[in-house]
Chain A
Amino acid sequence: MAKNGKASSNGKAAHWVGKKLKRKEDPRLIQGISHYTDDFKMAGMLYCVLVRSPHAHAEIKAIRTDAARALPGVVAVFTGEDTSAVGGIPCAMQMPDLKVPRHPVLATGRVRYLGEPVAAIVAEDIYTASDAAELVEVDYEPLPVVIDMEKALSSDTPYVHDQFNSNQAFTHTLKNGDIEAAFKKADCIASQRMLNQRLAPIAMEPRAVIAEYLPGENRLTVWSSTQIPHLLKTQISVMVGLPETAVRVIAPEVGGGFGSKLNVYAEEGIVPWLAMKLGRLVKWNETRRENFLATIHGRDTINDVELALKKDGTILGMRARILADLGAYHQLLTPLIPQLTALMHAGCYRIPAIQIDIVGVFTNKMSTDAYRGAGRPEACYNVERIMDIGARELGMDPVEFRLKNFPQPKEFPYTTITGLTYDSAKYQESLKKALKLAGYDALRKRQKAGWKSGKYYGIGVSTYVEICAIGPSAATPAGGWESGTVRIEPTGKVTLLTGASPHGQGEETTFAQLIADELGIDPGDVNVIHGDTLAVPYGIGTFGSRGTAVGGTAAYLATQKLKAKMATLAAHLLGCKPADITIGRGRLSAKGGKKSISFGELVMSAYTARNIPAGFEPGMEATHFFEPSNFTFPFGTHIASVEVDAETGEVKIEKYVGVDDCGNVINPLIVDGQIHGGIAQGLGQAMWEEVIYNEDGQLITGSLMDYVIPKAHFFPEFTLDRTVTPSPVNPMGVKGVGEAGTIASTPCMVNAVCDALAPLGVRHIDMPLKPERVWKAIAAEQSGGMDPLPPELSSAAKRGTSAKAGKSSTRRRP
């Protein structure tokens, strides 16, 4: 495959790349014969249940475990005192002023969030273990709770961690350009405070861990539902104090992650420790309730965003102050996420000056960390909302406003004010394609007509850019490269060992497609192995839309090494120069095509090694560790059309259009699936999802009854199209697609609803846009009453003019 992915490097047209190949993963999944961690049942296996704190903040005065221990079938009960030698839960981030509290696997002395584990029960079966957990008595002395992240920074607040004398975990400022001058010379400053609510990732497979320790071999094997088996292996070895060579981590079938399994959790320290301590296999399964309590949450920021504008719509500068609720402890990447938010505040716009100030705050809640998009949806939301608000204040159409501020395609690679270098993009083409697909002009006409009959139609546009293929190692906390080992077996069948351990992304299929094209063989002959640290060379994992762009590229480059080796051997056997060898359709041919050797024969001769060139290394295996030179920056345009019932606040999503550009596409079916899923999660945030802790730190949304995961009938059919702008960062020209939908759709939806309600004076509504909240926003704009404006809206209430007359009028800043 050449740079644009249209042709293979041997000159033949690509055969498999670009095809909607059915997934190789699926037969085992649709028959229910695959194995997720919970599906393994081994002889002698014990079951672990954790006792968790019912308080958000309390002193542990005493723990009585006698009754639990006495229950027949209970093997052992341990508390934080027993596990004090187990290493703390790691945080991979280092920052100058970052406060890092010790994060024990079982709490000692004090609990700091609801659901923090305080004791571990091990029993012969799960029912007995659960019964025993009920028998553990813990005396707690409740402490004042820190819930509100703004109050947490005041002087008279209790502290989550007394030793820091503050709840401020870190500060981070990104500043470039003359921001003061930009705001001084602005004709108009659009400003808005926006909440990005706390979310729960809710992978359908809850987390699960099994551990087995064989003292004779000094071998600890841990099965875990994780996105990062190798990083986890390293961390487990540190936590339990074994040499890393004694630890094997297996990520079997993993039932979704969305960032929540890009982590190292308490249970991944406790369960291996229990297996070592007891000399028995131990399994722990997370319940959904525990998943809400003690698997990381996402988002949870308060954003004060300002945009300095010239009258003609030119952006002069952007400022944002962001408070990020980190929860009680840092998980693996907790402090990183808000920094990604800061980085992406340039969006897809030409912004000459910027200042982003972030404060990370400790509260008595579960940690926040990477959830699909991980900092970028927050940035995109701020940017795309403030663009709409700015356009409205100037009386400009949001599309016209965006087009005015996009960099031109010829300016790429484009260096942003935040210091990133965007690889390639055609924002204008994407926007225009989406407008056409959505029927934008007709939607605007209908909107105006609707005002006369009391119908509130809204059109939301979001033009996004995301940072993917994470990433160059210099910019990542734990290595941003990925490994790929391609082994052509003596029979000509191919094994790929990829470090990018997937959890639903279909890498077994896409990676097989790209290798099949390179070697001129069938994807069915390529077996992709992942998720076993004993089999696969060290790798980083699947997250940050990096699987194909980094992991796929590693596989691609390892394949290139083998192709060179095969050409050397083929040239030797056929009596020509290696440069004259072409590979394709199961054969290696000399120039002219008269002499050739089958793929299988050639490979076998590399293993039999009886007739090889001098110095030729037998076998047919190559490994490549790919270090990307830059991130990739997929982009696109999403448009939503909605109708809002002004009497009930109910929002109906009528149409949803996405035009995405993820560079070259290996499997269109899988790419579309990724975008659909992303949109669904983004709309979930915009419309329904919200993790709510009450003032006592109790989780109000602790089940799937209270926390709304979107269902099938919540959505219209999404209409997708794409543009293709290859990335120059990797030889396949691919960018990444896993998070695009989540990043684009949230502001798109809120823009649509605010657009619908603009005639009623509504400027902004915080997510999720539940009917009650929408209705209240409308009611608040009515003069003391609850009824929305009568349908015969005066012309002054229409878009643009209302912006000048109403409360969202243009304001000068000193």
Chain B
Amino acid sequence: MKKNVTISVNGIDQRASVEPRLLLVHFLREVAGLTGTHIGCETSLCGACTVLLDGRAVKSCTVLAVQADGRKVTTVEGLADGDKLHPIQEGFWEEHGLQCGFCTPGMIMCSHDLLEHHPSPSDSEIREGINGNLCRCTGYQHIVAAVRNASRKMSKRATARAGAR
């Protein structure tokens, strides 16, 4: 009773015949071979498995691969442009927004969604914005700084782009 799916992952079509119960996170890790998306709880409570599905953050441990059929998924591996890190990745690096790094891909993808929709969030909006993602190492303070840092960078670049037009 397998089902054929085609999921665009970071711009590349991934085709597979999958069991209907296969979770998207397992599809990404086992079929697409992208292990940057982590499994921290299997119940959508920790956020380590957060990816973008058609641009919005979802917890891929509670999405079935068949639900993502024909849709676009972006994982943490798809953020950098070649050697050029995404501003959110730069922010996490510069502000020491990670320690063990396990929650980080999910935290980065969640921040991506936040900044897409609220380009200049206040600190408390950042804290609310990432409250579906758990981090046990950092106490969140440097993560907030990282998102703030990324927000500044992205606004500056957006302004520069607008100026260039």
Contacts and interface: CB of A to CB of B under 8 A. Distances in A.
Contact of A32 (B43, B93, B105): B105
B43 A288 contact: yes
B149 to A, nearest CB: 12
A35 interface: yes
B141 A718 contact: yes
A453 to B, nearest CB: 25
Given A26-B92, A41-B30, A127-B21, A715 B102 contact: no
A574 to B, nearest CB: 41
Contact of B77 (A31, A258, A678, A713): A31
A34 B136 contact: no
Interface residues of A, number: 58
B35 A677 contact: no
A741 B140 CA distance: 14
B125 to A, nearest CB: 10
A673 B99 contact: yes
Interface string B26-60: 10011001111111111101101000000000000
A637 B16 CA distance: 57
B22 to A, nearest CB: 8
A704 B101 contact: no
B103 to A, nearest CB: 5
Nearest to A41: B30
A754 B53 CA distance: 47
B89 to A, nearest CB: 4
Interface stretch (A203-211, A335-343, A414-422, A778-786): A203-211
Given A206-B40, A670-B96, A703-B43, A30 B139 contact: no
Interface string B85-127: 1000100111010111111110010000000000000011011
B65 interface: no
Contact of B48 (A204, A681, A712): A204
B39 A31 contact: no
A709 interface: yes
Given A288-B43, A715-B140, A204 B100 contact: yes
A204 B135 contact: yes
A34 B77 CA distance: 11
B144 interface: yes
A690 interface: no
B153 interface: no
Interface in A745-783: none
B136 to A, nearest CB: 5
B45 A23 contact: no
Nearest to A202: B136
B43 A704 contact: yes
A676 B139 contact: yes
A202 B123 CA distance: 26
Contact of A677 (B26, B77, B137): B137
A30 B136 contact: no
A679 B139 contact: yes
* B contact patch SS: loop
Nearest to B109: A32
Given A204-B46, A256-B136, A30 B92 contact: yes
Contact of A287 (B29, B42, B92): B42
Given A204-B40, A206-B40, A712 B144 contact: yes
Interface residues of B, number: 59
B46 A712 contact: no
A530 interface: no
B155 to A, nearest CB: 20
Contacts of A709: 46, 134, 136
B93 A22 contact: yes
Interface string A500-519: 00011110000000000000
A703 B42 CA distance: 10
B143 interface: yes
Contacts of A289: 42
A504 B108 CA distance: 17
B131 to A, nearest CB: 5
Given A35-B35, A39-B35, A677-B136, A30 B98 contact: yes
A256 B21 CA distance: 30
Contacts of A670: 96
A255 B34 contact: no
A38 interface: yes
B5 interface: no
A204 B142 contact: no
B93 A26 contact: yes
A648 to B, nearest CB: 21
Contacts of A243: none
A614 interface: no
A134 to B, nearest CB: 14
A717 interface: yes
B100 A31 contact: no
B19 to A, nearest CB: 7
B46 A288 contact: yes
B141 A717 contact: yes
A653 to B, nearest CB: 12
A260 to B, nearest CB: 10
A712 B137 CA distance: 12
Interface string A673-717: 110111111000000000000000000000111000101110101
A253 interface: yes
A205 B38 CA distance: 8
A590 interface: no
Nearest to A709: B134
A705 to B, nearest CB: 6
A30 B89 contact: yes
A129 to B, nearest CB: 13
Contacts of B96: 22-23, 669-670, 672-673
B147 to A, nearest CB: 10
A785 B4 CA distance: 66
Interface string B136-163: 1111111110000000000000000000
A288 B40 CA distance: 7
Contact of B45 (A285, A705, A715): A705
A27 interface: yes
A704 B93 contact: no
Contacts of B41: 288, 703-704
A465 to B, nearest CB: 21
Nearest to A745: B139
Interface in A4-60: 22-23, 25-27, 29-36, 38-39, 41
A809 B94 CA distance: 53
19 contacts: A25-B101, A30-B98, A36-B102, A38-B35, A256-B100, A285-B39, A288-B40, A506-B99, A670-B96, A677-B136, A678-B139, A680-B140, A681-B139, A703-B41, A703-B43, A705-B45, A709-B136, A711-B127, A712-B135
**7 A-B pairs closest in CB distance:** A32-B36, A255-B102, A504-B100, A29-B101, A680-B139, A676-B139, A32-B76
Interface of B: 19, 21-22, 26, 29-30, 33-43, 45-46, 48, 75-77, 79-80, 85, 89, 92-94, 96, 98-105, 108, 123-124, 126-128, 130-131, 133-144
Given A26-B101, A673-B99, 18 more contacts: A29-B104, A30-B98, A31-B79, A32-B75, A32-B105, A204-B135, A253-B100, A285-B39, A288-B45, A673-B138, A678-B139, A704-B43, A704-B46, A709-B46, A713-B124, A713-B127, A717-B141, A717-B144
